[in-house]
Structure 1
């Protein structure tokens, strides 16, 4: 999710006390308990600001056919999500990246490169379903909550150390703790989120009358195009490795109800 750092810091400061005392809740879409106490209205406020910034900085694609195609596919999936409380909006931006993004207020952006790369509506639906899946699974709330908890925890440790025998090394120790949380908690959860969004997206595709096999075709071609480029170790990445993701997708497609 894109947002201004200052806005995020203000939100984090305001939510500190609530997050420290809040418990976990179960998400029906993923079937697991998650630490995501950040209020949806606060996330929506951040998302509104981020969307306005994107619209101001990125040119909208002046191609009515592409905009209509995205709206057609996106509207079907949004309806399947049963989140009529969100003001869903789908926009194609005139940039070459093969990518898309979603904000927790229901704003979905794709780039011209993605529209050109997808060969049919089912492939496009795989991407948009994945993005909507992040919202249904409350991944934005979970990510912000985790970052807040890490920042609060590291700050408390640094404050304690600063008044003790380790004051000289308080900054270094706090930094090491922050890095440990990044690679031990935040990045692994980010990879988990991607796989969860894939599974939720497949469910949405099926409910919307689309072919979930489009996800296998799309992500398979994406893996082929990235095979020639150097890839970071999975432990350092926000996304699962291509092979692991495709394996999980094949299993998820095979497990979908037939009929």
Structure 2
């Protein structure tokens, strides 16, 4: 009986083993490349619903051009890579399986050269070529990508708790080993593409300085900053000196005569880039929120923090035990506010219903028992 069980386990393991295209090692995976590509294409549509593309065709084309240059020199150059600048002030970048890579305009604003942009995109390409997301999923039954799409960049623990292991890895990083592996691969791709691989280290310095500044500002306000930052960068990565030896050193052997940095071109492309909140999604000032196009203002209690995304405005208490999420959708003039609320919650029972009125605005509030 035991021999039969062991044979079955061995067969299952062999069925799930595949040669990693970037490292040449055998990895335990439970997904074919075709399934990986289909998955990425499907969830790319969901991500774009959560985070619209930044409205600058020239800048989008530039990022695609830089990304393709790096991807052409990767271990999976045959993939159809799609690089997207999303309209979000968050300092983040992430990749979906199959070659869908996103960089937030908030991160773009902190970079100083085309080589640094290529370093960020190369790191994400490294996650794709090494199939980190596929390997992560194959080691866990949790699959919370859709939930994680709603939590990308927010830093809100209660939202993140709703998500699975793999979705969390897309956004917050894959742990020290995989992040270092993506850095090493990214540095190789930089060198092969004619960029200075030192840019990988420069990106780390920029992000570290930004995080130190954010912590200092939060300390002045008596607030805490969630640990991790971009991809959990300073939780999972060793110090810069070790990174220089492990990542940039070997990549320098691949560098040809040209070691492009591209600072002037990059800064010209960024001229006019929106910094912080955009007028289209409203502006935060402390605990106040202003939306010119929709013509309303909100003020939250002292100590509350605001997370502003294109599809939702979230206010939460300092201890993250209370949340208010505001979304926008088309009104149905045929429904009263009470009817709308009952329709929204389906067949669930409402208790303690009460009409609300603010000037000419009518509303309704109720409690879902339990």
TM-score (norm 1): 0.69
1:199 paired to 2:192: no
Answer with 70-79 or 41-50: which moved more.
Answer: 41-50
Give the conservation status (yes or no) of the 8 Å contact 1:190–1:239: no
Give how far 1:207 is off: 0.5
Q: Assess, with a 3 A threshold, how the Cα gap between structure 1 residues 31 and 248 changes in structure 2: closer, same or farther.
A: farther
Partner of 1:66: 59
Aligned-partner Cα distance in 1 for 2:207–2:236: 9
Distance 1:188 1:79, change over 3 A: closer
Q: 1:112 aligns with which of 97, 100, 105?
A: 105
Q: Which residue of 2 aligns with 1:176?
A: none
> Greater CA deviation, 73-82 or 240-249?
240-249
Q: CA deviation at 1:65?
A: 3.4
Check the 8 A contact 1:97/1:114 in 2, yes or no: yes
Greater helix content: 1
Tell me, in whole angstroms, the C-alpha distance in 1 between the residues paired with 2:55 and 2:232: 32
Runs of 4+ with >4 A deviation: 18-21, 186-189, 230-233, 237-240
Counterpart of 2:212? 227
Cα deviation for residue 204 of structure 1 reads 0.4
- Residue 162 of structure 1 is matched in structure 2 by none
Q: Secondary structure at the match of 2:103?
A: strand
Match of 2:43 among 35, 38, 50: 50
Other-structure match for 2:315: none
Q: Over residues 72-129 of structure 1, what are the superposed CA-to-partner deviations in whole Å (9 max), with x where a residue is unaligned?
A: 2101011111534322111111101121111122111111112211111111111100
Shift of 1:136: 0.9
2:84 corresponds to? 91
CA contact 1:195–1:245 (8 Å) conserved in 2: no
Find the partner of 2:69 among 63, 76, 80: 76
- 1:194–1:54 CA distance, 2 compared to 1 (3 A): same
Question: What corresponds to 2:194 in structure 1?
Answer: 209
Q: In 2, distance between residues paired with 1:70 and 1:44? A: 21
SS in 1 for 2:94: strand
Higher relative contact order, chain-length normalized (CA < 8 Å, sep 6+): 1
Give the deviation of 1:241 after TM superposition.
Answer: 2.9
- Kindly indicate whether the alpha-carbon contact (under 8 Å) linking 1:102 and 1:131 is maintained by their aligned counterparts in 2: yes
Could you say which structure has the larger radius of gyration?
Answer: 2
The runs of 5 or more residues in structure 2 that have no matched partner are 1-10, 144-164, 216-224, 257-370
Listed as ranges, the matches of 1:155-166 within 5 Å are none
Report the more deviating stretch, 123-132 or 50-59.
50-59
| Offset at residue 54 of structure 1 (A) | 1.3
User: Which of 241, 249, 254 is 2:249 aligned to?
Assistant: 254
SS in 2 for 1:69: helix
Match of 2:133 in 1: 140
Mapped contact 2:111–2:206 kept (Cα < 8 A)? no
Deviation at 1:27, TM superposition (A): 2.7
Contact 1:30 1:196 in 2 (8 A): no
* Match 2:117 to one of 114, 124, 134: 124
Once the 2 structures are TM-superposed, how far is the Cα of residue 68 of structure 1 from its aligned partner? 2.5
| CA distance in 2 between partners of 1:24 and 1:37 (Å) | 8
SS across alignment from 1:90: strand
- Secondary structure of 1:114's aligned partner: helix
**Whose strand proportion is higher, 1 or 2?**
2
Secondary structure, in 3 states, of the residue corresponding to 1:244? coil
